[in-house]
Amino acid sequence: MDIEIAGVSLYYIISWFFVYSFLGWLWETAYVSVRKKKFVNRGFINGPLCTIYGMGAVSIYLILKPFGDNLAVLYIGGVVVATILEYITGWLMEKIFHTRWWDYSHRKYNLQGYISLGTSLGWGVFTVLLFEVLQPAVSWFTDLYPQKIGEILLIVIMILYALDFITSAWAAFGLTKNFAKVEDMMEDITQYLHSSRLYETKEEIRERLETVRAHIRTQEAVERLSVRRQEFMERFEALFAEKHLLDEDSYLSKKAEMEQKLDEFAKKYTDIRKKQNIVKKRMVYAYPELKNQFKKYRKKHQKE
């Protein structure tokens, strides 16, 4: 690997990329796991690598390397370069997979949810640490072993990484299809329940169904779905049986029809959740906001 970029051997660039990707995974996984109080394997791929950290760290280092002795320039440059990279990455992933993998819409001074002022300022601090602490340590580590051995290790790691990335990308596309099916089903059952006059507005129904979607684990969703089914049937009985809005034959027929509709919805919804492979389940568990982001994305494009 005699090729050089910005005066640095491609061998070291790739090595640093994987080291920073691993360190980024450690940071993301530890941070989210502590917040959730349970282990969460973060990152787009399944292995212990967060690509955006590796790409970001190496890109920032190569771009700002000429200003390594000027902390002020490093900070400002880090804010600008990292923010641009984060925006482009977030935009591309949404366009490709129709989902957002992070969203800063709830934070002040954000731009389309892809970037936010607070995060960008944090990237500046990270850039200074990168040059002053991390890069010297990472360079020391990659110099511990002979380059020949390192090249063999890189080949193995790149092959495993490529396979993992392809598997993860395929799973992400599958999730998009699954989310689309769920949204169609949610809208169909909402329309049916609204036409049955159980609730005055569709929003009331959607709010109740949202509690089903909110559960990440399949069993929890199934249990919540059972609760909602019972609630809908009790409301039906209260409205039509107690108030005698229908004669007995019509009431029994309508009740049987509603039970069938709810059971069909529950079965289809459960089947979709259960058919998710281990990679899809890991993604949804690591990024539970994916579902809601897909919902927002689809509504936006339906209006357009």
Structural contact between residues 284 and 216, judged by C-beta atoms closer than 8 angstroms = yes
Residues 121 and 244 in one domain: no
Question: Nearest Cα to 19, choosing from 64, 69, 63, 55?
Answer: 55
Residue 141 confidence (pLDDT) = 96
Lowest-confidence region among 131-145, 188-202, 268-282 = 268-282
Angle at 150 between CA 166 and CA 8, to 5 degrees: 90
Residues 93 and 134 in one domain: yes
Residue 301 confidence (pLDDT) = 47
Residues 294 and 183 in one domain: yes
Residues 179 and 109 in one domain: no
In the 8-state DSSP scheme, what is residue 276?
-
Pairing status of strand 115-116 against strand 8-9? unpaired
Q: Judge whether residue 74 has pLDDT over 70.
A: yes
158 found inside a domain: no
250 found inside a domain: yes
Residues 182 and 256 in one domain: yes
For the stretch 238-267, pLDDT in tens is 877 666 666 777 888 888 988 998 998 888
Give the mean pLDDT of 157-180: 88
57 found inside a domain: yes
166 found inside a domain: no
162 found inside a domain: no
Residue 296 confidence (pLDDT) = 55
| Confidence band for 38, pLDDT divided at 50, 70 and 90 | confident
**Whole-angstrom distance, CA of residue 51 vs CA of residue 138:** 16
In the 8-state DSSP scheme, what is residue 272?
H
The helix/strand/coil state of 54 is helix
Structural domain total, the chain: 2
* Count of residues making up the chain: 304
Residues 134 and 185 in one domain: no
Burial class, 2, CB count within 10 angstroms (exposed 0-12 / middle 13-18 / buried 19+) = exposed
Q: Which of 127, 144, 161 is the last residue of a domain?
A: 144
161 found inside a domain: no
Residues 234 and 128 in one domain: no
Q: Token pair 């049937």 is at which residue?
A: 233
Residues 58 and 131 in one domain: yes
Q: Judge whether residue 202 has pLDDT over 70.
A: yes
Residue 295 confidence (pLDDT) = 55
164 found inside a domain: no
Residue 97 confidence (pLDDT) = 77
181 found inside a domain: yes
* Residue span of the structural domain in which 19 resides: 4-144
Which tokens go with 55? 């790409």
Q: pTM of the prediction?
A: 0.77
| Confidence band for 158, pLDDT divided at 50, 70 and 90 | very high
